[in-house]
Amino acid sequence: MKIGQATIKDIAQELNVSASTVSRALKDYPGISDETKRKVKEVAKKLNYRPNAIALSLRKSRSFTIGVIIPEVVHFFFSTVISGIEEVASSRGYNVILSQTNESFAREKSSIDTMLSNQIDGFLVSFSKGTTDFEHFTKLLDYGYPIVFFDRIPEIPNAISVMVDDYRGAYNATSHLISQGYTKIAHLAGPSNLSISKEREKGYRDALTNHGMKVHPELIIECAYGTNDEGFKVTEDLLKNGKIKPDALFANNDMAAVGAMLAFKSMGFKIPEEVGIVGFSNWQFCAIIEPSLSSVSQPGFKMGETATQMLLDMIEQKLDPASITAPIVLETELLVRKSSVK
Amino acid sequence: MKIGQATIKDIAQELNVSASTVSRALKDYPGISDETKRKVKEVAKKLNYRPNAIALSLRKSRSFTIGVIIPEVVHFFFSTVISGIEEVASSRGYNVILSQTNESFAREKSSIDTMLSNQIDGFLVSFSKGTTDFEHFTKLLDYGYPIVFFDRIPEIPNAISVMVDDYRGAYNATSHLISQGYTKIAHLAGPSNLSISKEREKGYRDALTNHGMKVHPELIIECAYGTNDEGFKVTEDLLKNGKIKPDALFANNDMAAVGAMLAFKSMGFKIPEEVGIVGFSNWQFCAIIEPSLSSVSQPGFKMGETATQMLLDMIEQKLDPASITAPIVLETELLVRKSSVK
DNA sequence: TTTTTTGTTGCAATCGTTTGCGTTGACGAT
DNA sequence: ATCGTCAACGCAAACGATTGCAACAAAAAA
């Protein structure tokens, strides 16, 4: 009495033909009379026949399902990426199975394991902050298993990845602050084991240097969590105890930027008149807070789309992984709002 | 050369026993000598054996996978729910396959179809705004297919659903505005075909009535999209062309509330001194905008957890759907911030 | 020694579908 | 009458795992 239970055999029985004939008739194979094809299709429709994808997967060792490994779902950028992934996957007839690691290495590994048992056709991965050992990925890559990394990309050979131009985004953001006349620009950096953090910091440093300004290491502070509170605390601490008082700040992410903004405000600084701030990611709230927060927008949706297209092309052998030698880089856009314009 | 390719047969061959023996040995069935069990497990580990979940699904007609149908992923509340779903599912050994409908009825139907072919064990559904015909659900329910609806729940018999107490949330929010001395409270309502919108509007109306205030229909405006811009526009229009000028506003969702807030500000009103505002959902930005936005927080994570627990219990026959006669209602919490305190 | 019991293991079917190959019968050509 | 051709279809194995039943040996009971 279960749903969609009509099988090829049921159709076969009803018409007194063999299962093979039904299978071929449904797929318009040659060697089946038009008459039979007609009848088979008719009965199939009558019985509401729906091919059993599981049986198909078993036969073909293909599941038409891709696995997405992501640190957290409740995150504006990542949810945007997921959205892009889902759009492309479903339009190309693939299912998306989702697993969030909550930034835990152990969960990342076990997720991959269970997905492998489910005969996933390929992986879309943004690894967790806790991941420093990449053997579970390299092993798969060695076997030729299709994987596309996005946003957080590993430093391993032959890995296919899609990223945004973090360096240039950070460079532009910092240059913008400089052009506005701010002179002592601090940086709230991200976790140092993520390449995106390093790239952003490098962009920040190079922008200063290229504009003839000095880089003060004490103005670069790592925010491991990237939360509102953390941004507030480190900024407050910097203002109270630091030797150099910054008059601007470029943050690795928007949440930290907001925290910093609140800290500056609570210490009596006026934004943007006295202090300029720029964030990264362009979360939804950037436009609606007071003052509105300038930010580097990342094309999350496009990243999801691009990564998925590539993965599916690899799965369907339309794309040779060896032909991709460098990460795909998507451009960012600096959205200048009130928080950084004097 | 594919990964995880070692099958039960490979183990069997290596030890010169039959596949059945291996299967039983791995599951510690009685009737297999300890010696054999030991050897089998040893070889299994050596070959990195991983049971093929697809083959298992076919055999047992169970996929240990649940399907989640959701209007959109890029939405704070829904992403929170997904997070809760994922936590419970993975802790109980289930996979989550995700599909977003983008509020389209057609996609909702086709998603369900493909998931059915994938032998999904059950559904977690929040249907789209475009859904008015529920036959695709009732048909499944009639067959005893496990479904749990969340947040947006249908008015069909025997449906199991989890919702938040929208009525009480709205009632409390409105009462709070009244207690602060606001007298002409407007309401930005949600799409009228969603029960959550109706409940919230009802809570708003009842709060007014019970406090001896009149309900002015011209102060209730439907916002079909619930966006920032829409909230801004309708509020601006209300202030410019409306007969009654509101001095407070309760919005069906936070985005619209922010839009309204910006509209009030742009017309020169001071918040909260002259105008009080309360939103719904407690999006992340509520706490960081200026003034911070009072809002009714919905337990999204808990909703995901609860719905998933129930679904899995139904799937595993630990819960008889017939024993659930009313929707499960989760409590909301009114978070009072600056936007509504004179 | 014969029979029964017990402990281990294998055979084969099953889940739903696909597919290489063999079979059947009709028909035209010789 | 015999052969070859061809269209139309069926058989059976395969994908990987599970499981009822049968089989077989050795050990215990008769």
Query: How far from A256 is each of A19, A198, A231, A232, A334, CA to CA, in Å?
Result: 62, 16, 4, 7, 17
Q: Report the C-alpha gap between A297 and B204 in whole angstroms.
A: 38
Please compute the mean of the pLDDT values over residues A128-151 and round it to a whole number. Answer: 92
A109: CB within 7 A of chain C nucleic strand: no
Q: What is the mean pLDDT of each run of 10 residues along chain B (342 residues)?
A: 73 92 91 90 92 94 95 94 97 96 94 93 94 92 93 92 97 98 96 92 98 96 92 96 95 96 95 96 90 96 98 94 94 97 91
Q: Report the C-alpha gap between A148 and A165 in whole angstroms.
A: 17
Q: Report the C-alpha gap between A138 and A131 in whole angstroms.
A: 13
Q: Which residue is closest to A65 within chain B, CA to CA?
A: B97
Q: How far is B215 from chain A (nearest CA, A)?
A: 30
β-strands A65-70, A95-100: how paired?
Answer: parallel
Residue A4: per-residue pLDDT = 55
Partner B contacted by A120 (CB < 8 A): no
Cβ separation A98–B99 shorter than 8 A: no
Q: Which of A96, A117, A289 sits opposite B290 (nearest CB)?
A: A289
**For residue range A160-211, what is the model confidence (pLDDT) as tens digits?**
999 999 999 999 999 999 999 999 999 999 999 889 999 999 999 999 999 9
Q: Check pLDDT > 60 for residue A27.
A: yes
Residue B149: per-residue pLDDT = 98
pTM of the predicted protein model:
0.90
Residue A157: per-residue pLDDT = 87
Confidence of residue A1 (pLDDT cuts 50, 70, 90): very low
Q: Which of B308, B307, B255 lies closest to B281 in space, CA to CA?
A: B255
Are A67 and A145 a contacting pair, CB within 8 Å?
A: no
Confidence of residue A2 (pLDDT cuts 50, 70, 90): very low
Partner B contacted by A309 (CB < 8 A): no
Q: Which residue is closest to A86 within chain B, CA to CA?
A: B99
Are A43 and A9 a contacting pair, CB within 8 Å?
A: no
Q: Check pLDDT > 90 for residue A69.
A: yes
- Our CA dihedral for A196, A202, A207, A210, rounded to 10 degrees, sits at -150
Are B73 and B100 a contacting pair, CB within 8 Å?
A: yes
Cβ separation A115–B98 shorter than 8 A: no
